[in-house]
Structure 1
């Protein structure tokens, strides 16, 4: 889920080269982007995970706003330092990566100023075959050129039960927290 949700952020879907970018795409995710998540057991243990394989892009809309698309692979998601939990998370009783290989996010159009000031970014999250509206909170930028000079940082939380991810319900709490650190590469269309 390395890309998820994570920053839903102003980054988006579709790693690629400038020449291969779709019309209007001004930036793609840089490989330095990080999409992390955490789950808590009913006993208070925190399990940290990441989505190492992701794609994303940012599109410039005709009205000057931007839109981000993200795509995170559930087939390669990892629960850090727990290979057994990683297998369970990818398996049929949780993410079911064979049937649902991706988590995707499409943001609502947003003003460029949001990257500088921080605030809420809304959009459609699709996970485990279920699509719902979600919200991520962007931190104020730490530099003049967010995504390039510094990471775009976003956080959010979803309920597993909203996405029919009910495996491990006796052992895991319902909330999943996401932390996204998005870096961008320009396509030349900026």
Structure 2
């Protein structure tokens, strides 16, 4: 009986080890969270007419944070509230952008972007930050292109500038194809609320 118990114990241990080996490795836990300074940051978008005119809009209300992961990588999370989107000085255009043919803010009040983890050197040197955009309830992978930093402490002493161009038709925003380009470029100028603590 002792031999049987020993064999059973070994089999259970092996089964448990195999089950654990099949589980995906957990993502590193956030070590620190850096909040965006909403007073000094600017989130907006650009779209061109078929005649080449550029229309610029802004998101007066938004949220943003960067999670500093335990392995040193960063992960950014953005939320832009479409109910407050506006085209400055153009009330009719503002109504269109909030309406059901564009952002449809009554049904989809938030645009979200969650990046995959990236190394912070991207902010200094520039490069792509990949992630997933949720717009009008539709989700697609997209890339933010970060411009090289203009100062040693980007995000504190100067803006972190990034742009992401999407095809609006992929998100159900396919009205006005004869008047407006299919491409919408989100423009983010981000500042952080306080310097990271050692």
Whole-angstrom distance in 1 between the partners of 2:178 and 2:32: 43
Deviation at 1:79, TM superposition (A): 1.4
Structure 1's unaligned 5+ residue stretches are 1-22
Correspondence for 1:37 among 45, 51, 71:
45
RMSD between aligned alpha carbons? 1.6
Which residue of structure 2 aligns with residue 137 of structure 1? 145
Which residue of structure 1 aligns with residue 57 of structure 2? 49
TM-score w.r.t. the length of structure 2 is 0.80
Partner SS, residue 128 of structure 2: strand
Structure 2's unaligned 5+ residue stretches are 1-29
Higher relative contact order (CA 8 A, sep 6+): 1
Partner SS, residue 178 of structure 1: strand
Q: Does 1:76 align with 2:84?
A: yes
Deviation at 1:172, TM superposition (A): 1.0
Contact map agreement 1:24 1:189 (CA 8 A) in 2: no
Report which of the two has the higher share of helix: 2
Whole-angstrom distance in 1 between the partners of 2:95 and 2:31: 38
Deviation at 1:80, TM superposition (A): 2.3
Which structure's CA Rg is the greater one?
Answer: 2
Whole-angstrom distance in 2 between the partners of 1:83 and 1:49: 11
Q: Does 1:149 align with 2:157?
A: yes
Structure 1 residues 187 and 144: CA distance shift in structure 2, 3 A: closer
